Structure 1
Amino acid sequence: MARLLGIICCVVLTGSAYAQQPKNSGSGSIQSYEYQLVTEGIDIPWGMTWLDKKTILVSDRKGELRIISNGVLLNEKVTGLPELRAEGQGGLLDVAVDPNYAQNNLIYFSYSGLEGEGQGAHTSVVRAKLQDFKLTEQSVIFEAGPNTTKGQHYGSRLTFDKQGYLYISSGDRGNRDVNPQRLDRDAGKIHRINGDGSIPKDNPFVAQKDANPSIFSYGHRNPQGMAMHPVTGDIWTHEHGPKGGDEINIIRKGANYGWPVISFGVNYSGSSFTELTAKEGMEQPQWYWVPSIAPSGMTFVTSDIYPDWKGKIIVGSLKFAYLVALELEGDKVLSQEILFPDIGRVRNVKQGADGYLYVATDGAGIFKIVPSK
């Protein structure tokens, strides 16, 4: 666990993009980077995944699934999406491809679905085949419950691990005092399922009465970033705190991450809801932010295109409209560096199949980070 307020790096304006000069670690020369616009035309690009090195599948929260091919946003939209509730923070959310997509054409997407019990919506996940611009052979493989008419905290990131298990983040749906700590409710959890929606036999609560078997960890507020560590295979997440207390966590089987019993944040009014930042039996974050940065999207850098960032985590900030690069030593976060101030409200950041970093922003477009010439 650690915290650092961060230092804004020197940036200079170069045409329509900012150049970013990383700090020299003393291990050789450093490289400058800039961001270039790939496309506009997607209001809130919530999820991004790659069908191949030249084709990006992007979800627009308002309820559209779009394709970017060779850097061009295609006019034709993917058809066949299920009914969803595009209100508040809900809508069409994350999207991921099957580990064997090249052979089976399977994709997965999460959304504020109406399938669960009760009025309103909750986080649902569909598996389908993508053929041309049509979704076929659809099946709902996950439906969180119970539903609620509240419009916030769907969580909803999707990530596969090295064994092919699918992890799904579900926010507390605005009911912090009930959902996160109850194992008979899906909200405020990280779930793990097989690609067909069945439950892995070694999930931690499979044999526990009155516990939902898909739950892998609990005590989460609103995880909107999730990625697999490329070396260890661990699943890392970040989640929104209230006012302060955004966290980065490594997801452990059956672990309780404490929300709302422990937190480094306070109510939005500034009043306190807990005096505890630690408690026996509850996990401590690898990193936390005070004040909040409102993190959304995260990726591990493995590409040789970015020698100065290789091995780091890149996280987006909705609140401050920048990227954060986190230095790691094993499973410890040592420090942070702020990149590209004012790039826009970062909804997602991913390393693409072509090795480049892509940054999706609300309203401003999708950008690619490239070495400066």
Structure 2
Amino acid sequence: MTDSDTPPRADRRTALRATAGLATLSLAGCLGGGSDDAAVDGDDSADDASDDGADVAYTVERVAEGFENPWGLAFLPDDGRLLVTERPGRLSLLDPADGSAVSVAGAPEVFARGQGGLLDVAIHPSYPDDPRVYLTYAAADDSGAAATHVGSGRLRFDGSDAPALDGFESIRVAEPFLDSELHFGSRATFGPDDALFVTVGDRRDTAFGPDHVSQDRSNELGSTLRLTADGDPHPDNPFVDDSDARDTIYSYGHRNPQAMAVRSETGRVWQCEHGERDGDEINVIERGGNYGWPVASEACNYGTDERVAPSHRERGDVVAPVHYWPCGSGGFPPSGAVFYDGDAFPEWRGDLFAGTLAAQYLGRFTVEGAGPADVAVTEREPLLADRDWRVRALAVEPTTGYLYVSVDDADAPVVRLAPA
């Protein structure tokens, strides 16, 4: 199932306030446990393991609303405030204490067409000693063709506490530039050794086969980049000595990864990516791994029941997903992911949360094993399934452990899940 982004229309941002705190949407929402449906899991056997995170009561609170297609969320460490990107090109700093939001000056000019625009945001691991903020975004060249960009600037506050990004500049462009408005990928996160991981989509290349851009390591499309904090290729990347490959590439064979998170127990990077018709995947990223697209896939061609390619498990030269939604399942078009490590919901610690767009809910997945060979992923009962919300991005508030969610809409809220 594909990611069909809504064209931006709204032009307002409003803080919601209540005399006793934030407005509460739902009291005592509960999760149900249970085993995975084999038809959804893509396996022949169901998982009947007990679910210790079931029946957790939570409230859904609107922190602020009126955002225009919010795409990325990142908390400032030891600060409590939240950076929010909006796809038309705005960057805001949101104070969860009172729902107020102020614009951050210095954001780049973006290509806000189709699925392009201002996309993800990440904070340097040494913030505030190193105050750099990283943005991923689509930007165009002089001909109007676009590419996924990574840029950084130093976050500063003047005497009136108005924030700005000083010296913002592009530090990496995932070439080539193309006329396509689709599949920019564009999640960013810092992993082990303070390496910056960035996903790049295949820009909706439909020339399926071994010469597809995602299988061609001479370009950066359909790949995971691993960069230094300055945007240079990481010196330990797998193809730094290969003259036929880009030295920024860490993994390849991806279609459109729009969710990425680091599992603290192992330090491994996980991704969720869009399939064609269904075929959405959860992957544990391996150094130098080929994730198959489009020569191996669990998806079917749009509008048909015909497989795009053989299954990953039918080829010995690709990395298979640890969880997937096969053709006919309805899919899980993903956007935004986080491993929960907070104190508010101890039953959820170690669980993977991922948003889904067209399916309109927040997914929770229990994870067993260190992986990738022995890892077992089980999808549990969905959260927020009654809201008709396209879930775009997730973040855990460091001090409280509340789970923050941005909704993808032209006039959208940022909400949080708190204990009931």
Q: TM-score, normalised by structure 2?
A: 0.81
Contact 1:41 1:365 in 2 (8 A): yes
1:270 partner letter: T
Aligned counterpart, 1:329:
368
Aligned counterpart, 1:221:
255
- Cα offset, 1:349, TM superposition: 1.5
Q: Gapped runs of 5+ residues in structure 1?
A: 1-13
Are 2:344 and 1:305 aligned?
A: yes
1:151 partner letter: E
Tell me which of 378, 384, 398 is aligned to 1:340: 384
Following the alignment from structure 1 to structure 2, what is the Cα–Cα distance between the partners of residues 260 and 29? Answer: 37
Contact 2:53 2:347 in 1 (8 A): no
Are 2:148 and 1:148 aligned?
A: no
Tell me which of 385, 400, 407 is aligned to 1:361: 407
Aligned counterpart, 1:157:
187
- Cα offset, 1:230, TM superposition: 0.9
Contact 2:291 2:318 in 1 (8 A): yes
Are 2:105 and 1:79 aligned?
A: yes
Contact 2:63 2:96 in 1 (8 A): no
Following the alignment from structure 2 to structure 1, what is the Cα–Cα distance between the partners of residues 363 and 343? Answer: 19
- Cα offset, 1:72, TM superposition: 4.2
- Cα offset, 1:28, TM superposition: 10
- Cα offset, 1:29, TM superposition: 9.3
- Cα offset, 1:198, TM superposition: 1.6
Contact 1:239 1:246 in 2 (8 A): yes
Q: 1:80 to 1:226 in 2, by over 3 A?
A: same
Q: Which has the larger displacement, 239-248 or 49-58?
A: 49-58
1:300 partner letter: F
Following the alignment from structure 2 to structure 1, what is the Cα–Cα distance between the partners of residues 338 and 153? Answer: 25
Q: Which has the larger displacement, 117-126 or 363-372?
A: 117-126
Contact 1:118 1:148 in 2 (8 A): no
- Cα offset, 1:19, TM superposition: 3.3
Following the alignment from structure 1 to structure 2, what is the Cα–Cα distance between the partners of residues 275 and 188? Answer: 17
Are 2:395 and 1:350 aligned?
A: yes
Q: 1:123 to 1:26 in 2, by over 3 A?
A: closer
Aligned counterpart, 2:145:
120
Aligned counterpart, 1:67:
93
What do the CA deviations read for 1:294-350 (whole angstroms, capped 9, x no partner)? 111110011121122111101111112111110111132332111221331100112
Determine helix, strand or coil for the equivalent of 1:284.
Answer: coil
Contact 2:404 2:416 in 1 (8 A): yes
Tell me which of 133, 136, 152 is aligned to 1:107: 133
Counterparts of 1:255-294 in structure 2 under 5 Å?
255-272=289-306, 274-278=308-312, 279-289=315-325, 290-294=329-333
Following the alignment from structure 1 to structure 2, what is the Cα–Cα distance between the partners of residues 176 and 333? Answer: 32
Following the alignment from structure 1 to structure 2, what is the Cα–Cα distance between the partners of residues 202 and 264? Answer: 31
Tell me which of 205, 211, 223 is aligned to 1:175: 205
Are 2:170 and 1:130 aligned?
A: no
Contact 1:217 1:253 in 2 (8 A): yes
What do the CA deviations read for 1:113-132 (whole angstroms, capped 9, x no partner)? 235x9641110000110112
Aligned counterpart, 2:44:
none
Following the alignment from structure 1 to structure 2, what is the Cα–Cα distance between the partners of residues 189 and 29? Answer: 35
What do the CA deviations read for 1:167-226 (whole angstroms, capped 9, x no partner)? 000000011432100001111000001001122222111111121110000000000000
Q: 1:371 to 1:73 in 2, by over 3 A?
A: closer
- Cα offset, 1:164, TM superposition: 0.3
Determine helix, strand or coil for the equivalent of 2:346.
Answer: coil
Aligned counterpart, 1:7:
none
Are 2:70 and 1:45 aligned?
A: yes
Aligned counterpart, 2:264:
230
1:143 partner letter: V
- Cα offset, 1:143, TM superposition: 0.2
Following the alignment from structure 1 to structure 2, what is the Cα–Cα distance between the partners of residues 75 and 365? Answer: 12
Contact 1:153 1:222 in 2 (8 A): yes
Following the alignment from structure 2 to structure 1, what is the Cα–Cα distance between the partners of residues 242 and 199? Answer: 21
Number of residues paired by the alignment?
358
Q: TM-score, normalised by structure 1?
A: 0.91
Q: Which has the larger displacement, 42-51 or 271-280?
A: 271-280
Contact 1:18 1:340 in 2 (8 A): no
What do the CA deviations read for 1:202-255 (whole angstroms, capped 9, x no partner)? 211111112111000000000000001111100000000011110000110101
Contact 2:294 2:309 in 1 (8 A): no
1:105 partner letter: P
- Cα offset, 1:55, TM superposition: 0.4
- Cα offset, 1:23, TM superposition: 3.8
Q: Gapped runs of 5+ residues in structure 2?
A: 1-22, 34-49, 158-162
- Cα offset, 1:108, TM superposition: 0.2
Following the alignment from structure 1 to structure 2, what is the Cα–Cα distance between the partners of residues 75 and 366? Answer: 11
Contact 2:108 2:168 in 1 (8 A): no
Are 2:242 and 1:208 aligned?
A: yes
Are 2:121 and 1:95 aligned?
A: yes
Determine helix, strand or coil for the equivalent of 1:180.
Answer: helix
Aligned counterpart, 2:46:
none
For the aligned residue pairs, the C-alpha RMSD in angstroms reads 2.0
- Cα offset, 1:71, TM superposition: 3.8
